[in-house]
Each structure stands twice: as C-alpha cells, then as structure tokens.
Structure 1
Amino acid sequence: MAGRIELKTREQMRVMAQAGVIVERALAAAKAACVAGAPTSAADAAAAAVIAEAGATSNFLGYHGFPATVCISVNEEVVHGIPGDRVLAPGDVVSIDCGAIVDGWHGDSAVSFIVGEPLTAADTALVKATERSLWAGIAALASASRISDVSAAVERVADEAGLHPIDGYVGHGIGTAMHMAPDVPNYRTRGRSPRVQPGMCLAIEPMLVIGTDESAVLNDEWTVVSLDGSRAAHWEHSVAVHEDGIWVLTASDGGASRLAPLGVTPVAP
C-alpha cells in the first residue's frame, strides 16, 4: 500500500484505543450470535447494535459499497464474506472482521472460531495456529527494526503449523483511515520494508489456509475463497508503537495476557 506513513501522537492513540475496545465488544457480541441454526446476518446485527450504542460508527458499512457492519467468512471463505441468510452449522469455521470509528480514528480487529464442536482436529489446529501467528507478529513488533521482522514472525508460525498465508492479502497501517501505508505482509518479501518507528499504528492480520495459498473472489465481488476449497482462519489486532513500547489497541488489556508468555509487556500510550 503506497503512500505516506501516518504517525500518531499518544493522545491520538488513546482515541484509537477507545475505538478498539468498542470493536472488541462488537466482536464478542457477534461471536455470541454465531450458533448453529443462526443466519450470519444475526452476528452482523449484534455487532451493529454494540457500535451504535457506544456512539461510534462502523468503518466497514459502505466502505467501497460494502453492505454490512462486519465481514463474516465461513469455512473456505478467507475474508470479506458478506453477512446474509447463510445458516451456520455445527463445525463451521467462522472468521469475523469488524471495525469502528471514534472521532475520526479507526479500530480494526478479527477473530476466528468453530461453531459448536469441531469436525476435525485440523480445524482446531488451524484456528489456534492462526491466532498464535498473530501474537507472534505482535510480539515481534515490540523489538522490530522493520516491518519485515513482523512478517517473518507470522510466517514462521504458519510454517511450523503446516499452514499457508493467502498470497496477496496483507495487514496495513491504520489511523485516520482504515487502510493506510504501510503494508504488513504475512510472509517474507524481497526488498527493504519500512522501518518501525514511534507513532506507527498497524493492523496485523494473518489469513492462513490448510491448503494452497491461492485464492479467488466470488461473483459478489467481495468474498475471497481458497482456490482449492480448504478451510481458512483470520485473526487481527490493531497495534500502536510509541516511544515506550507497544499497545494492542483492540484489546482491553493492551494484549498483556497474550504477550506475557512471549516476554513482552505492553505499555499504554
């Protein structure tokens, strides 16, 4: 993603953290609505209600024409799935991506989970390993010199789990817009990546699949599916970098509980 990297003040990061905590609550409500027999539209309505009650605005609804508050992607759908009449079944692997705006500042996060009991051990491993890759990338950011250090950490966990990052889909900067420079790939790339510096806010979001790293977009012009039909998972957090450390903006504890085992202590901006 080309363009100038927007550097935030710590005060601006604190507003982004307000948006992030709203996103966290919206995702929790959406996940709770994802029960067997429920349509994916129920999860969208649950997230929309949380965002509205908080006085925030959805940054997904209307984005380039996107028709919903959240993206809900099921099984072979990787990202950007549109909520609707699809009824969830036991064992479905579901990924929900959500965002919110407070005073012009954006938050963006995603979770994956299985509806009811998993159908296979591979599905459970997929969801857990994708989450581990997210936190490995976040932990790497705490001491990273360049964005490529984050990408390498994400890919390392994917490799260890025998999973593949979807080619061409990456994380991004975030701030006064949802998608900004720089790109944050989930795999190693050639060339020198941008330096990590205080004021950056990054959305790190591994999208991993059990099978091929190739994908296609459905006729709705949004939903991305794995080309071989294998199942996918997607996890995401927005993270701030400042002079004293990092803070996960879309986690109410700043990521402390998940980063502690990785030797990182987040510091509030």
Structure 2
Amino acid sequence: MSISIKTAEEIEKMRVAGRLGSEVLDYITPFIVPGVTTAEIDRLCHEYMVNVQGTIPAPLNYCPPGYIPYPKSICTSVNNVICHGIPNDKPLKNGDVVNLDITVIKDGYHGDNSRMFMVGDNVASHAKRLSQITYDCMWIGIEQVKPGAHFGDIGAAIQKYAEKAGYSVVREFCGHGIGAVFHEEPQVLHYGKAGTGPVMQAGMIFTIEPMINAGKREIKQMNDGWTIVTKDRSLSAQWEHTVLVTETGYEVLTVSAGTPAKPEKYLLG
C-alpha cells in the first residue's frame, strides 16, 4: 500500500480546497429549515460552488467501479440514512437531522467535509446526543494523528468512545486519503486495534469521518445504488474533516469562519 506524502505546494492547495469546502457548509447553514427540500439545498450549494467559488462539485457524476454516476453535487443523509443520500424533492420536517457532505475541487485538489444539522426547534434529545457523540468521535480520532502513530489508533479510539455511549460504528465505509485524487490510500477505519495499520508520516492527508448508529451497525443499500441506511432503521450521524499530519501532530484543513469549534470537553468525559 502506497500512501502519498504531499509536497508543500500540494499542502497549500489542500488548505485552500479545504477552506472552500467548509465555506459551502457555512453558506448553506441558514437554509436548513423545515420545509426546504434536499434538492433545493443541492441546487443552492451547486450554484455557490460553481458561480461564487469557482470550484467543481466533486460528487457530481462521480462513478467509482461498480457504481452508476452520482447524480447530484452534494450528499444529503437524513435521519436513518448513513451516507450517500441523494438529494430529492421531499421537504425536511421539524425534528429531522441531516448530514451534508460537501467536496469541492479547486485547482485540481479536493476539500472534503461534512456536518450534521438539526432541522427546526423540535429535534429529540436522543438525536442531539447521537450527533454530539459522533462529533466527539471525530475529534477523538483527530487527536490520535501525529507522526509515528498508527492508523489503527484512530479507529480504536473512535470505537471505544462510541461503544461506551451505547452506539455502534459503521464498518463498510471509512475515511480515506485525499489530494488530487478524491479517494486514495490509506483507508482510515473508524474501528479497530491501536498499534495496527500503517504508520503516519508528516505530509499525509486523509479524512476522518465516523458514521455512528444509534442502533446496530448493520447497513442496507437502497435501490438507487448509492443511499446507505441503517438496517434496523435507527438514526445515524456523521461528521467529517480533512486532516494533515504535521511534523508535530495534526492540522485540520477543512476550516472556515463558521466551522464548529473543537469540544472543550467530551460529553462522556
């Protein structure tokens, strides 16, 4: 397995792409209200990316082996949808939770991130807790990143925290290396054993994007060929950042003015 080490020039391009990817989420935040459709959210994000930022929406027509081309510019995963939800004409309801997964391409480099959004003022406390625990999981994973650490350290820390909360970790989808290529080595698992897997080196860039289910971890793919849901119909949540291994630790690249802050303390202490 060959994991690319990015040059200083590539890292700077990834900083720009990461910031722009995050700024799409900043832009769309006020529009996430009851009654809006995910298709409208997709349209707004597409126009902002193309007309304002001059970026390319990476998911649009993305077609890995075994898939049909993805038909939209963003992924919108509502309630029990784990990932890759395709925007549609169904309005969001008060109390829904939705993950927006945004990847832009700028000057040939990808900025990939996602956030959870609470729709309206009637989101159940258990849904808010799932989102917060998943956010904690992402940051606990990020905190493992430093030269000399193993990629298994990330998954082990995330799995321990999620399961302590009574949740399960999706295993079929994971974080990934990223740069000029959307998905490259390594695979960054969100479960596993500390001290296993490849060793991190300064200059590596990858995503950490845990998908955490309130119920069991088993998944089901819908007939559209893309949408992944929880098999037991329980809620799922996901947060994602793109991370650089630095000489002394890590740098989160998907940062903008509206990026939620790192937790001052974790929900489970």
Structure 1 and Structure 2 fold alike (TM over 0.5): yes
What TM-score, normalized by structure 1, do the two folds share?
A: 0.90
Contact 1:139 1:259 in 2 (8 A): no
**Counterpart of 2:37?**
39
3-state DSSP class of the match of 1:141?
coil
**Counterpart of 1:153?**
157
The 1:166/1:158 distance shift into structure 2, 3 A limit, reads same
Match of 1:206 among 210, 222, 235: 210
Distance 1:37 1:126 in 2: 23
Distance 1:81 1:67 in 2: 11
**Counterpart of 1:249?**
253
1:62 and 2:74 are equivalent in the alignment: no
**Counterpart of 1:187?**
191
1:27 and 2:25 are equivalent in the alignment: yes
Distance 1:227 1:28 in 2: 31
**Counterpart of 1:96?**
100
The 1:195/1:259 distance shift into structure 2, 3 A limit, reads farther
Contact 2:138 2:208 in 1 (8 A): yes
1:129 and 2:133 are equivalent in the alignment: yes
The 1:144/1:231 distance shift into structure 2, 3 A limit, reads farther
Contact 1:30 1:42 in 2 (8 A): no
Contact 1:94 1:114 in 2 (8 A): yes
Contact 1:111 1:235 in 2 (8 A): yes
**Counterpart of 1:265?**
none
Runs of 4+ in 1 over 4 A off after TM superposition: 259-262
**Counterpart of 1:115?**
119
Contact 1:26 1:48 in 2 (8 A): no
What TM-score, normalized by structure 2, do the two folds share?
A: 0.90
Contact 1:29 1:46 in 2 (8 A): no
**Counterpart of 1:233?**
237
Distance 2:109 2:166 in 1: 37
3-state DSSP class of the match of 1:216?
strand
Unaligned 5+ residue runs, structure 1? Answer: 263-269
Q: CA RMSD in A?
A: 2.0
Letter matched to residue 81 of structure 1: G
The 1:121/1:150 distance shift into structure 2, 3 A limit, reads same
**Deviations 1:42-84 (Å, cap 9, x if unpaired)?**
2112211221111111111110111111100101111000001
Letter matched to residue 134 of structure 1: M
Contact 1:30 1:44 in 2 (8 A): no
The 1:187/1:246 distance shift into structure 2, 3 A limit, reads same
Distance 1:144 1:118 in 2: 45
Contact 1:7 1:198 in 2 (8 A): yes
Shift of 1:98: 0.7
Distance 2:244 2:229 in 1: 30
Percent of pairs with identical residues = 35
Shift of 1:242: 2.4
1:5 and 2:3 are equivalent in the alignment: yes
**Deviations 1:213-268 (Å, cap 9, x if unpaired)?**
00010000000000000011010000011224321110137x89417769xxxxxx
Unaligned 5+ residue runs, structure 2? Answer: 64-68
Distance 2:46 2:84 in 1: 16
The 1:230/1:26 distance shift into structure 2, 3 A limit, reads same
Distance 2:221 2:107 in 1: 33
1:175 and 2:179 are equivalent in the alignment: yes
